[in-house]
Structure 1
Amino acid sequence: MEHQVYIKKSNGETELFSFEKLRRSLRSSGASNETVETIVEKIQGQVYDGMSSNTIYRKAFSILKGKHKSTASRYSLKRAILELGPTGYPFERLIGALLKERGFNTKVSVTLQGACVTHEIDVLAEKDGNVYAIECKFHADARATSNVKIPLYINSRFLDIQQQWNSNPKNTTHLKQGWLVTNTRFTADAVNYGKCVGLTLMSWDYPKNNGLKANIDSLALYPVTTLTTLNKREKHLLIASDVILVKELFDGKNKLVNIGLSDRKIERVLNEVQQLCGSDCN
């Protein structure tokens, strides 16, 4: 029988540990029911009052990695995105790639003139004659949230750009909407404000079933930081050479050679790449 244990969250608060929540997160990473129950059983025998949620994650990840590396990669997605920092540019590249897979023409890091001042736009996306200005709010701390001040600021910038764009007779497209994307979460006020002014918001799990995690999983657009066969230094070397996505390594043996990997390790990495994104690598 699963016993009640209170664990410490990353923000210092305590909460009742949910074995069912652990099961859901493992299943969503693609773990089989048998693997899920094996991990839950082991965690149940080790968890205690006051244990940190991070320690529980590491234990589950370690077991999962020993059974199936690509499943462990998907399980580590949230932390892998945090590792894309410290700058926000790799995250912007990831968002640009997500939109491109959804049929948008995208540009990353664009300077646009507003009615009043110039603005740096993280991602500019166009589809069917409509243009969208996307701002990416990257956090290196999973505890961070974007409060209402962020969408207030982003929306004011968007309105300045929109006024200039749509009044310019040389533009053949319509600047329709601003978006704000973060890798963590929005406060309730931020979400309500976005709904009120028509600013599209996307966070780790918002909108429901269409948040960042759901989109990355459905498109298999995993960042290289998810790869369990690479250490932190090797991941950062790839990011420094502008390799952000796992799929960029599918035919990228030279990119792995360039960061000093042996032939044996390259084979292991490429095997994990194939398992992780499969036919979506092409």
Structure 2
Amino acid sequence: MKKIHIIKADGRRVLFDPNKIIRTCVRAGTSRKDAKKIANDTMNLIHSGFSTKDVYRIVLKNISKINRGNIISHKYRLKESIMKMGPAGFPFESFISQILSNYGYEIEGVRKEIHGKCGKHEIDVIAKLKDKRFMVECKYHHRRGIHTSLKESLYTHARFLDLRENFDEEILSCNTKLSDDALEYATCIGQNLLCWKHPSGESLEKMIDKKGLYPITLLNLNKIELRAFSDIKFMIAKDLLTADLKQLSRKTHISLPRLKRLQDLVGEILI
């Protein structure tokens, strides 16, 4: 197998690993056989010096060639879809609160101000599960190549320590991977994580995939449609399946036929 070095978004030069494409394709719904073909076809079209963005585009093009490829490509773009949320007006903390709610957490507040022992804090999400109350700190990045750093893990823990009388545990949630030192620190102090790839068994993308909690930005929406959904805080694509489309059309000024097409698309994505 030829060795190909690609350029990551942060400028690092790394060895191309086709297994990453295979894993992500399988997560998005392809068979392992198709995933291997997509990875091999991609490898045949790239060479050293390609950026990860170049590789990403080629992978999507190869996905489009397989059965149900156009549907599967939506799920493959999950990370990109989450990164679209902030600029499109969808608060990441609200998205996280809805994910937690779907997993049995009672949400007591989003962006709520609480006084600690030594200072005043605006908490991104306050959540309760059984007899435990969680302080959730959300860190959002809208560009690739950025890791959530040790500083952000330290900051979250410092706030938790000042608010210990109000909370039993802390959660650091982010839409990117953690840096190695941030992961080491979080593991050492027992900081709960809800991040991209962490923790391995219940990471952000796995929790989304498991219950189909994809953001509305996963769909191919134009700027006007994104703004319309954002204005009414409609964040989870799956909710289109149970929505009153006539009422939703009145609220968003998106035509009923267009909403029906989006609803059908979500149904196909979730098969």
Q: TM-score, normalised by structure 1?
A: 0.85
Q: Which of 154, 174, 188 does residue 182 from structure 1 map onto?
A: 174
Contact 1:5–1:16 (Cα < 8 Å) also in 2? yes
Are 1:193 and 2:195 an aligned pair?
A: no
| Alignment partner, residue 170 of structure 1 | none
Q: 1:70 to 1:93 in 2, by over 3 A?
A: farther
| Alignment partner, residue 171 of structure 1 | none
Superposed displacement of residue 20, structure 1 = 2.5
Q: In the aligned structure 2, how far is the partner of 1:161 from the partner of 1:212?
A: 25
Are 1:237 and 2:236 an aligned pair?
A: no
Structure 1: runs of 5 or more not aligned: 166-174
Q: In the aligned structure 2, how far is the partner of 1:100 from the partner of 1:38?
A: 38
| Alignment partner, residue 266 of structure 2 | 273
**What secondary structure is seen at the aligned counterpart in 1 of 2:99?**
helix
| Alignment partner, residue 161 of structure 1 | 163
Percent identity of the aligned residues?
A: 28
Are 1:68 and 2:64 an aligned pair?
A: no
Q: In the aligned structure 2, how far is the partner of 1:3 from the partner of 1:264?
A: 49
Superposed displacement of residue 177, structure 1 = 0.7
| Alignment partner, residue 118 of structure 1 | 120
Q: What amino acid does structure 1 have at the position aligned with 2:138?
A: C
**Matched residues, number:** 266
CA displacement, residues 148-197 of structure 1 (integer Å, 9 cap, x when unaligned): 2212221121121223x3xxxxxxxxx21111111112222222222232
Are 1:130 and 2:122 an aligned pair?
A: no
Contact 1:191–1:201 (Cα < 8 Å) also in 2? no
| Alignment partner, residue 29 of structure 2 | 30
Q: 1:43 to 1:189 in 2, by over 3 A?
A: closer
Q: In the aligned structure 2, how far is the partner of 1:88 from the partner of 1:227?
A: 15
Contact 2:89–2:230 (Cα < 8 Å) also in 1? no
Q: In the aligned structure 1, how far is the partner of 2:183 from the partner of 2:6?
A: 28
Q: What amino acid does structure 1 have at the position aligned with 2:159?
A: R
Superposed displacement of residue 54, structure 1 = 0.8
Q: In the aligned structure 1, how far is the partner of 2:50 from the partner of 2:253?
A: 38
CA displacement, residues 233-269 of structure 1 (integer Å, 9 cap, x when unaligned): 4234312321111122223324356444444433321
Q: After TM superposition, where is structure 1 displaced by more than 6 Å over at least 4 residues in a row?
A: none
Q: In the aligned structure 2, how far is the partner of 1:69 from the partner of 1:78?
A: 17
Q: 1:257 to 1:47 in 2, by over 3 A?
A: farther
Q: In the aligned structure 1, how far is the partner of 2:258 from the partner of 2:135?
A: 40
Q: What amino acid does structure 2 have at the position aligned with 1:51?
A: F
Q: In the aligned structure 1, how far is the partner of 2:230 from the partner of 2:63?
A: 25
Q: 1:60 to 1:4 in 2, by over 3 A?
A: same
Contact 2:10–2:146 (Cα < 8 Å) also in 1? no
Q: Which of 204, 210, 230 does residue 212 from structure 1 map onto?
A: 204
Structure 2: runs of 5 or more not aligned: none
Q: In the aligned structure 1, how far is the partner of 2:64 from the partner of 2:257?
A: 19
Q: What amino acid does structure 2 have at the position aligned with 1:146?
A: T
Contact 1:69–1:272 (Cα < 8 Å) also in 2? no
Superposed displacement of residue 50, structure 1 = 1.5
**What secondary structure is seen at the aligned counterpart in 2 of 1:145?**
coil
Contact 1:88–1:138 (Cα < 8 Å) also in 2? no
Contact 2:228–2:253 (Cα < 8 Å) also in 1? no
Contact 1:221–1:277 (Cα < 8 Å) also in 2? no
Q: TM-score, normalised by structure 2?
A: 0.88
Q: In the aligned structure 2, how far is the partner of 1:178 from the partner of 1:88?
A: 26
